[in-house]
Structure 1
Amino acid sequence: MAEVDLAVIGAGLAGCSLIGRLQQLRSDLNIVVIEAGRGPGGRTATRRRRDQIGWLLNHGAPGFGLSESMPEGMEALLAPLRSAGVLQRDERAVLSLNAQGDLSPANSPDACPDGGWWHGVPSMASICVGLLDTAGPVQLSRQFETRVRWLERRRDHWLLENEDRSWSLRAKHLVLSGTLLAHPRSLKMLAWDDVPLRTAVAEGVDDDLDKALSLLKHSQAEVRWNLMVDLGVLALKAEELPAQIWLDDAAKARWKVERLVLQPQSDGRWGLVVHGLDSGEAITPESQAHLLAQEQQRLVELLPELLQALPVVSAALNQATPLGVMRWGASRPLNNPLPQELQWCPTSAVGFCGDWIAGTRFGRAEGAISSGVNLAEQLHADR
């Protein structure tokens, strides 16, 4: 059985920022990052297509805001990505859509973050790839397409196993960059009969962990149903399409959609992602296939109304190809942030990072990056 110093579950912005910062700090840890998806990215993942070489569609976050002034550790982490052109400012327009279908310049805080929009080039997933590839002495291995189901805290290490226990790993320290293994939502959504982290460490063994799990138990997050569409080659002339179209409150209430994202492809085609709001129906392994099909049909039928103010896009709907719906079970945390002092629980050698950690950027990508940097610096200082 493989053994490492640190196992990081989740290869999104937080987990990859943690690893990238440890590299910069010249940490000597032996680390493995474990991810259920096919590669790094998390909610900044990018969808590829086997039938279309070069197709890259950001089916999660299309970008994020960054403050003009950030802590030294964050600046140091992101500077190489900016210099390499992997992290770039997105200068394309962001518009607002009202309930009558009219477009205007966006001005809401969500649509116009402080410091503007930043995105990954050639895709959002490139940011997490770049963070994992940060130069440094860390011995890093990557374990993709592996969902950790079982956790066991033994005397001096953690034991991690997948659902059928065909894969396992020993780790001296453990970091969760998502809440799935620590939150009761896994009980219904994945039909698990326990919360793995709670089962691994009994109540009363670790006061800090007890506090953390108690807070997380009551935390809530938004669910998104993101429809992906291949629009084909558009009959563009001089006009430039917006990067995003955010619906105002009345439009959200009418169509149950948060925003539309338009993304050019290298071959002249265009991709569209419709960020659909959740209806509140219970998500279980039995209901998921039905709900995915239901949301795809609903969102596809809305496209002519949503795009009526963009004739060049609306005209392409007859040739458009829906590519399915991606369900984000925790697209953004809503409440009960985990205090920073509970990010690391030394008694159990387990830590947390993500946009659900308390701070001024709670619920934002910048908060996820910041939490990873902060935890890396704490772990490095404690060695």
Structure 2
Amino acid sequence: MPGKDVDLAVIGAGLSGCALVAALRRRDWQGTIQILEAGRGPGGRCATRRRRDDPLWRLDHGSPTLSFHAAPRGQLLELMTSLQQRGVVRVDDDPVVGLDHLGTAVEAPEHPLLQGPRWRGVPNMASVAEILLSDGAEGVDVGFGERIQSLSKVDGCWLLTGGVHAAKLILSGTLLAHPRSLAMLGWRDVPLRQAVPEGHDPVLDAALEWIAELNASIRWNLMLEFPAAEHDRLPRQIWLTPRAQSHFGVERMVIQVQQCNRIGLVIHGLDDGVPITPETQPELLKAQEQRLLSVLPELLRPWPALQRMVPDARSLGVMRWGAAQPLEQGMPTTLQWCPQANVGFCGDWIAGHGFGMAEGALQSALDLAESIDS
């Protein structure tokens, strides 16, 4: 990517980052925008896996739905109504069941992601981020596969990987502001703290102090392809009970029927606390793949047709994602925009709507757009 000057740089093309760009354009904000995304495409934890050897294959390897704790209101209602009218989302009423520690199908456990209204991306979850990005496409450049290798602030200007110079900077995640970046990225200090010394912006100081208290939440999501099979009775989501999660090291499984009745399955594996660094991650991916494959037959016991096909299932690899999870309420919205440092935050860890909620990701983007445009 050649060197360039932009008005706004957004790190991360997940749901909140793409929603922020769309919200700014709806407010007629005319600045130029550069998005830097480490993945192959938009979506973040609402991303969809595609395959070079099979153009019809689409597997939502992260969040299977957009979850809300209550019916959206105000600008959020307008946004969801627009997405639904354009056919980008539909109400998710697909079957959800539970699984206990004995491998028995039970009633789905209570979980915040299942308690309120849910929508599903059409034709897949990445479509939501894609349409939001297209809504704000004018004056926006997106660099996929762009991992942040450098971050500094010189003479009031943000300097980023690839020679990008930005007047304002937005983090749609917490990695560059959270201490876990020290191990994950091999930095000496928290990147954002390294770029802006303490005392320069009191709001940023308070935000970084708050972010440092977040828990790192890791998932190892194994993607599988099963041969064509009858699937009339298959649930969409299989949530493990708390005891079962502890026993199997798995949070849930998600089934997505493909073309020609093939079946895609994603196992959301829980982390075991082993430190992750750039050097250890490749071996950890292999170890998690083998671990999740080993418990799969027992997990599928209530669905014999799938269980019998486990030996013929094809592993499509493990996707690791990480996020900083608030213990209770999300970061106060008053800390979203730091005016002296010209840096802001958006994501599902803000606004107090619950970790993993699309509601918080989208609402935080709408709130931040207002601050930037004011």
- TM-score calculated relative to the size of structure 2: 0.95
Query: In the alignment, which residue of structure 2 is the partner of 1:121?
Result: 122
CA distance in 2 between partners of 1:235 and 1:93 (Å): 16
Alignment match of 1:295 (pick from 276, 284, 288):
288
Q: Say whether 1:183 aligns with 2:178.
A: yes
Query: In the alignment, which residue of structure 1 is the partner of 2:139?
Result: 139
- Report Cα offsets for 1:194-223 as digits up to 9, x if no partner: 222111111111111111111112211321
Instruction: Find the residue that maps to 1:233 and give its secondary structure.
Output: coil
TM-superposed deviation, 1:306 = 0.3
Is the 1:222–1:333 contact (alpha carbons within 8 Å) kept by the matching residues of 2? no
Is the 1:6–1:32 contact (alpha carbons within 8 Å) kept by the matching residues of 2? yes
Is the 2:153–2:196 contact (alpha carbons within 8 Å) kept by the matching residues of 1? yes
TM-superposed deviation, 1:76 = 2.3
More deviation in 204-213 or 149-158? Answer: 149-158
Count of residues in correspondence between the two structures: 372
- Report Cα offsets for 1:280-337 as digits up to 9, x if no partner: 1111122212211111111101111000100121122121111111111227444573
CA distance in 2 between partners of 1:279 and 1:160 (Å): 33
Query: In the alignment, which residue of structure 2 is the partner of 1:251?
Result: 244
Instruction: Find the residue that maps to 2:90 and give its secondary structure.
Output: strand
Q: Say whether 1:262 aligns with 2:255.
A: yes
Change (3 A) 1:68 1:218: closer
Instruction: Find the residue that maps to 2:45 and give its secondary structure.
Output: helix
Alignment match of 1:205 (pick from 200, 206, 212):
200
Alignment match of 1:305 (pick from 272, 287, 298):
298
TM-superposed deviation, 1:65 = 1.5
TM-superposed deviation, 1:342 = 0.8
Change (3 A) 1:333 1:313: farther
Alignment match of 1:281 (pick from 250, 274, 290):
274
Instruction: Find the residue that maps to 1:133 and give its secondary structure.
Output: helix
CA distance in 2 between partners of 1:154 and 1:226 (Å): 39
CA distance in 2 between partners of 1:78 and 1:157 (Å): 35
Change (3 A) 1:57 1:18: same
CA distance in 2 between partners of 1:191 and 1:218 (Å): 20
- Report Cα offsets for 1:320-358 as digits up to 9, x if no partner: 111111111227444573211010011011100011114
Query: In the alignment, which residue of structure 1 is the partner of 2:370?
Result: 377
TM-superposed deviation, 1:113 = 2.5
Change (3 A) 1:56 1:318: same
- State the one-letter code of the partner of 2:344: G
Query: In the alignment, which residue of structure 2 is the partner of 1:324?
Result: 317
Alignment match of 2:220 (pick from 199, 222, 225):
225
CA distance in 1 between partners of 2:354 and 2:249 (Å): 25
- Aligned Cα root-mean-square deviation (Å): 1.7
CA distance in 2 between partners of 1:111 and 1:43 (Å): 14
Q: Say whether 1:215 aligns with 2:215.
A: no
Query: In the alignment, which residue of structure 2 is the partner of 1:31?
Result: 33
Query: In the alignment, which residue of structure 1 is the partner of 2:45?
Result: 43
Change (3 A) 1:218 1:323: same
Query: In the alignment, which residue of structure 2 is the partner of 1:164?
Result: none
Alignment match of 1:172 (pick from 163, 167, 175):
167
- Report Cα offsets for 1:114-146 as digits up to 9, x if no partner: 11x31111111110001111168x521111111
